[in-house]
Structure 1
Amino acid sequence: MLYILLSVCCSVIVSVMLKLAKRYHVDMLQAITWNYSVAIALTWVIFRPHWVSLQSAPFANYAALGILLPSLFVILARSVRHTGIVRTDISQRLSLFIPIVAAYWIFGDQPGMLKITGIIIGFVAIFCSIPWGKSGGGSKSGFGAWLYLLIIFVGMGIIDILFKNVAAYKVIPYTTSLFIVFVLAFVVSFILLAIKIARGYTKFSFPHILIGWSLGIANFGNILFYIKAHQTLAKQPSTVFSAMNMGVIVLGTLIGLFVFKEKLSTLNKVGVFLALVSIIVITYSSY
């Protein structure tokens, strides 16, 4: 359970850093770019990816992930800034519905009534979590906040599907694929950053490298400890899955409410509770 706790803490630390970015005038594109540079280095040092022939590698999935990861990271940062840690974490964690629905429509998987019930509860949870009035940050209307949360929900779900497809491709070791994806994400974000600097929208800042590396360490720690948890509790995948998602929602909610004083309506609090119920129901139905 220690690995699960560490993974949860790393995930929430990322959200906290994104929340603090506005206060300290952090250029998120610079931070996100250097975040992937340290992810590349840590993947190389810790996972020691094995190099095999990439002739038949799933390059379409690699390319899609290389574009989606940095793009969604930017949206994630804006969502945390404008809607708060609590709502963003709920939307991110409940994106697990997307691959479940995709399994039904694309692969013909037949979900049982219990899983369908969990999905329905999850959608109600997302509906309840939306700040229909003013957001926790007070700078976005309900519609603007709703749009950020929707993009995260769908985007994270698509990323989950792509990573599952990559993991299912046994010819290339998963850690090798992960390394390639991080390289592509760094290249994409670096190109976007270079364009932004060339157009005079921002200036290169060395402190942003340090901020990005810190963000990258926390982000990579989330992945590393999650994998370690699955390896340690290989016969209890449901425990890892449910504890990880519920842990992020609970810890994120506590920090959002008591540290950043985020305002949640009664309906939003119901959404947090329903999100936890949904994860429990789906986990139980899946295993």
Structure 2
Amino acid sequence: MHFLVLAICCSVSVSVLFKLCKRFNVVTEQMIAFGYIMALSLSYFLLRPDFNGLSFTEFFIQSEAKPIFLTLGVLLPVGFMVMSKAIEYGGIVRTDAAQRLALFLQIIAAVVIFGETLTDLRIAGVAVAFLALFCLLFKPAGTVGNMVKAAFALGGVWLIWGTSGILYKKIALMGGAFPTSLFIAFSLAAILVFSYLIIKRTCWTVPSFVAGMLLGCLNFGNILFYIYAHQHFKENPTIVFACMDIGVICLGAVVGALFFKERISKINSAGIGFGILAIFLLYGEKLFA
């Protein structure tokens, strides 16, 4: 359970960092680029990916993991860029909603792809989790400057975050081979985003570099602990999918209220309560086993 707690803390910290970008004149794309350099360094020195005995053909062409790390290599930087656009066009609340409602995709994958059989207690937990999500994300209707761009950006966040969570589960199933695949995914992500910035002829800034180093540490921690959680609950991906999403949104609501003075309505408060109940239902079988 402690891996999930750490992953949740890292994920919320990433959101806080994105919220502070404009305040400190950080260029989002540069921050993402430098972040992957840090994440790449941490994965190399801490996870020690093993390339011994692997030829280019075996790993990059014949490897069954190739579709996973190639897809992640694209989704990782694109996901952050789409997220920044979603915040710009649709606002933080709607972006957070799109990201966390990716739970729907992950629950479907847990049953269809990973063959999990849901018990009555977990079915109840999933139902309560969805109720918690809707309560937590409830906000009075507002206007969006560009509805078309907002719809595409928010839809992209929903699809990318849902797909990434499923792919992390696939990586977790690789056991000891996951450090190598993760390192390759980070490498591809770094190449793509730096190529984009070089073509764009960006003007590099120090605040973006500093923020990028911090983002890289948090992003690496988020992914690493998330994968460890999936390895610990390898037979029950629903626990990780649901607890991660509910935990992030509950902690995010508290952080937003305490540090950013964001108002929590009575419905949002009820959502936090439902979220705690959902986590208890989903984790209860393991707790009392």
TM band (smaller chain): 0.7 to 0.9
Moved more, 124-133 or 13-22: 124-133
Q: Give 1:108 deviation, angstroms.
A: 5.1
Tell me whether 41-50 or 159-168 shows the greater mean CA deviation: 159-168
Would you say 1:131 and 2:139 are equivalent positions? yes
Instruction: Decide whether aligned partners of structure 1 residues 203 and 153 sit closer, same or farther in structure 2, where only a CA change above 3 A counts.
Output: same
Instruction: Please say if residues 15 and 80 of structure 1, whose CA atoms lie closer than 8 Å, have aligned partners that are also in contact.
Output: no
- In 2, Cα distance between equivalents of 1:3 and 1:265: 30
TM-score, structure 1 length as denominator? Answer: 0.76
Post-superposition offset of 1:142: 9.7
**2:51 aligned with 1:44:** no
Could you say if the C-alpha distance between residues 112 and 143 of structure 1 is closer, same or farther in structure 2, counting changes exceeding 3 Å?
Answer: farther
Q: Map Cα deviations across residues 37-85 of structure 1 (whole Å, 9 max, x no partner).
A: 111111111111111421432222211111111111223345567644x
Q: Are the aligned partners of 2:132 and 2:270 in contact in 1 as well (CA < 8 Å)?
A: yes
Query: In 2 relative to 1, CA 104–2 (structure 1 residues): closer, same or farther, beyond 3 Å?
Result: closer
Shift in Å, 1:263: 2.7
Check the 8 A contact 1:94/1:122 in 2, yes or no: no
CA RMSD of aligned residues (A): 3.9
What CA distance in whole angstroms lies between the structure 1 residues aligned with 2:43 and 2:224?
9
| Structure 1 alignment gaps of length 5 or more | none
Aligned to 1:20: 20
Task: Indicate conservation of the 8 Å contact 1:132/1:142, yes or no.
Answer: no
Q: Is the 8 A contact 1:97 1:119 kept in 2?
A: no
Name the residue aligned to 1:33.
33
Q: Deviations over 1:199-225 (max 9, x none)?
A: xxx533243222211211222233445
Aligned partner of 1:122 in structure 2 is 129
Q: TM-score, structure 2 length as denominator?
A: 0.75
Q: Residues 139-191 of structure 1, C-alpha deviation per residue, up to 9 Å, x if partnerless?
A: 76999878766544442221121122233346x71111110010011112122
Question: Separation in 2 of the partners of 1:169 and 1:177?
Answer: 9
1:84-122 CA-partner distances (Å, limit 9, x unpaired): 4x7766764563442321233345544333333333333
- The CA deviation at 1:226 is 5.4
Aligned equivalent of 1:163: 168
1:56 matched residue in structure 2: 62
The answer (yes or no) to whether the contact 2:129–2:246 under 8 Å persists in 1 is: no
* Displacement after TM superposition at 1:34 (Å): 0.9
Letter in 2 for 1:158: T
Question: What amino acid is aligned across from residue 156 of structure 1 in structure 2?
Answer: W
Structure 2: stretches of 5+ with no match in the other structure? none
Percent of residue pairs identical:
36
